[in-house]
Structure 1
Amino acid sequence: MGENDRSVLDEAWGRIPHTREVQADTGSFTQTRIERVLTIIVGPASLVLGAQAFVAAFVPGDEAAGWHLPLVVGVFVPLVAMIVACAVGRFARIFSGVFAVLFLVALALWPVATAGGPTPVPTENPWIFYLVNVATVAAVVAFPLPFQIAWTIAAPLLFGVVRLVQAGGRPEFIVPILLDVSFALILGSVLLTLAWMYRSIAANVDQARTLAVSSYATAAATAAGEHERIAVAALMHDSVLGALLAAERAGTPRERTLAVSMAREALTRLANAEKDALEGSDEPVPASRLADDIEIAARDLGVEIEVARRVEEGTPRVPGRVARALVLAAMQAVANAVQHADAQGLTVQLTGDAAPGGVAVRVRDSGGGFALDSIQPDRLGIRGSIIARLTAVGGRSDIESGPTGTTVTLEWESGDRW
């Protein structure tokens, strides 16, 4: 991806509202949000189940003497850390992973911790059972999918095994243990499936968004390149090629003066080629200002023209960008008349109308005219410097040419675009 594409991509992505969670990786906007939602949900849910287990832990348990307190501390301290981390949105994966691992360790130690302890009751579950599915959701937050599946299956099965070992394999424990294990497996599978589904949807949304923004960047870069190519081509025609042609054909003092002025303008514009040809203030100007600018620009080219003016009271002011485009297009038409018609019968007229509101510039000459269809595609004096220039600012241009002369009409209405 080129620098131009990347800058456009960054600009497009910058239109998406960013928060602390998504500034690090703009390519996973939705996934980051889904992860945050999961941690927000896991925190309160774990708090509810953890509180239930904590209350159950105060009842005389199944552990032998000296085991109850270490197990409670070893399980509930990382559980509290996980809940706090999920609530604040920082280090949730780390503390969730720590709890998921320590819970399985505590569960594996359960037969040892309960050896020699009180006789268990089949209808009463130990406090550690209430945290089986908490370990499942902790794995969902902390680990990749294969480990999530492993924890979802291993935690309930391990509880069933250690519970059966604690009971000494007595038959009356088999059915309650199977029911508890089945319930934990079903609930854990549902939680795992929901998390996987939302993460998959988020990944697909991010992929589609990235492709869309990348396509926009490519299209925008292509359009920018084409715009630059047209601008450079118009610049070459207006300034360089026009000056060269004028110098080649100059045979009279006036034509030589015109060629020198055009060469000076070409050097100035080439020196500022990286800038927008229409840059500058867009402050609206009076319509009559266009006539003054055309007369001054024509005088710089060695052509004395007095622009005929008919500006009605109430004619809208013309935005600066539009005014510059009209003046430049009019000067291209004047240059064409000087070069190709020897300025025969050259006149320029400015018209301003209050209703519907707009201005028009007409450049006429009485030369031999030309056929519009015969203009070569690489000649941009009319296509680029007149037609395209007016179209770019919401204006219109019309060219009529015949044996009796050529008329170039440049129009802009206030309701067209501004």
Structure 2
Amino acid sequence: MPASDSDLAVLASFEAGRRRSRVFTSTRVENMISLVLVIAVLVFGAQALVFAMMTPDLPAPRSVQRAVGESLDAGIILLVQVFVPLAAVVVTGLLRRGLRIAAGIFAVFYIGTLVIWPAYTSFQFGGQAGEPWIWYLLTVATACAAIAFPVVWAVAYTIGVPILFGLVRSIGPFGFRNIDVGILDALYGAIFGMVIVVLVAMFRQTARRVDAARDAALVRYDRAVRAHAIEAERVEVDALVHDNVLAALQAAERAAGAEAERAAVQIARHALTELREAGFEPADDESSVTLKEMAGRLRIAAQMMEHDFQVESKASAGAVVPQGVANAMGLAAVQAMVNSAEHAGGPVGSPRSVSRRVVVSNTRTMATIEVIDDGIGFDPDAVPTDRLGVRVSIVERMAAVGGASQVRSAPGDGTIVVLSWSAEEASA
């Protein structure tokens, strides 16, 4: 029996949901990290720029001036080298595109700035109490490295670059001066940078685990939906076989005259028709059936039974159920009537008189059909599992439409089969 278009759509949506779930939390974490980095760059970058503008112009060494040209200011080139990549980090962070590339470029350019810094300043900042303006960008550089590089490279950068800064910070025109200041600055930069690297790695790892858990949950849900669809088809096929094919075979076996043979042929034709139509998915039917109409259908079915059934309708005039639910409840009720007709009176030839009733009723939220007899009864728990009459044609058929069924019986106390359906419970 092929799957319906709605089933395929549901499974396709689950597959798409699995693909999205793999990056859902990771994307949100990356967006959060990007926002924090942009804020840090704006704060520390603005601070560094202000101090860079306040620093008095220093005469660049002749070697540097010859390298950049007599008409260019080496200080301007250094500012462009630092703050243009820094501005790119802000722009890409706000756009959430290309942030890792921009952050990696700034981290590399910052190393280049540290390398040429002593030559640019003629070693005049080395060992002084005041901080050079590139100091305010050390933590920004380590944060960019934590975002742009793999964890191993980010850790190496976070340890190596503060050490390089400490050396640059301590070297003067005539050797190292106040090296303890450089060591403290290097330790501060390395510790603060490692905190950033650990936080970024932890957030990313947690996000990946959450995405993996979401993906696994969707996979389990997908499998449950598939299993439910397979089980629903199995119930439908079992009910089809029991209600039509086995009924046709039993009618053919019991036929003892021309009229009975004609009835058996008619039942067999009906079974073949049901089997041919079983492979086609019926169109969605959103119509409703009133409970009074259901009672009328059961009266017609009762007239075809070999024993009398009294059909009563206690339903409200406007009480309705969906067409699919009406079909399931009606077929389950007919099966309960067939079971009562065949078994409630005891062995063939037994003089026991049995009263049989079918009651259709409703409350404000529930529709109910009861098939009642005062026959010999039975023990529902003792019914073999390979008997399909109660388990498939009644219990599982009602469960397939979101309804419920109860079989209350005991040896000698008759049998009551209660079929119920509630819109609230079916949609829960």
Matched, 1:100 2:107: yes
Q: Does 1:46 align with 2:41?
A: yes
Match of 2:407 among 398, 406, 410: 398
Match in the other structure for 1:175 = 180
Find 1:112's aligned residue among 106, 111, 119: 119
Letter in 2 for 1:37: M
Amino acid at match of 2:109: L
Secondary structure at the counterpart of residue 407 of structure 2: strand
Within 5 Å, give how 1:19-418 maps onto structure 2: 25-58=20-53, 59-61=55-57, 64=60, 65=65, 66-115=73-122, 122-171=128-177, 173-273=178-278, 280-281=285-286, 283=288, 285-296=289-300, 308-312=310-314, 314=316, 317-320=319-322, 321-336=324-339, 349-353=357-361, 358-362=367-371, 375-392=383-400, 393-398=402-407, 409-412=417-420, 417=425
Pairwise CA RMSD? 4.1
Does the aligned pair in 2 maintain the 1:348–1:361 contact within 8 Å? no
With normalisation by structure 1, the TM-score equals 0.79
Instruction: Give the letter for the 2:335 counterpart.
Output: Q
Change (3 A) 1:100 1:127: same
Question: Is the 2:126–2:171 Cα contact (8 Å) retained in structure 1?
Answer: no
Measured after TM superposition, the shift of residue 45 of structure 1 is 0.6
Aligned-partner SS, 2:175: coil
- Whole-Å Cα distance in 1 between the matches of residues 153 and 130 of structure 2? 30
Q: Once the two structures are superposed, what CA deviation does each residue of 1:242-298 show, in whole Å capped at 9, x if it has no partner?
A: 223322332334433433333333233333435679973362x33221132235567
Unaligned runs of 5+ in 1: 15-22
Residue pair 1:5, 1:221 contacting (<8 A) in 2 also: no
Cα distance in 2, alignment partners of residues 188 and 370 from structure 1: 78
- Equivalent residue pairs, number: 401
Change over 3 Å in CA distance of 1:24–1:327 after alignment to 2: closer
Counterpart CA distance in 1 for 2:361 and 2:301 is: 24
Distance 1:388 1:303, change over 3 A: same
Question: Which residues of structure 2 form unaligned runs of 5+?
Answer: 66-72
* Displacement of 1:205: 2.4
Q: Could you say what secondary structure the match of 2:359 adopts?
A: strand
Q: Distance in 2 between matches of 1:318 and 1:151?
A: 73
Question: Following TM superposition, by how much is the alpha carbon of 1:37 offset from its aligned partner in structure 2, in angstroms?
Answer: 0.4
**Secondary structure at 2:290's aligned position in 1?**
coil
Contact 1:6 1:217 (C-alpha < 8 Å) held by counterparts: no
> Structure 2 vs 1, CA of residues 26 and 370 (structure 1 numbering), >3 Å: closer, same or farther?
closer
Partners of 1:98 and 1:192 lie apart in 2 by 17
Amino-acid identity (%): 34
Query: Offset at 1:28?
Result: 2.9
| Contact persistence 1:5–1:218 (CA under 8 A) | no
Offset of 1:48 from its aligned partner?
0.8
Equivalents in 1 of 2:31, 2:297: separation in Å?
61
TM-score under structure 2 length normalisation: 0.77
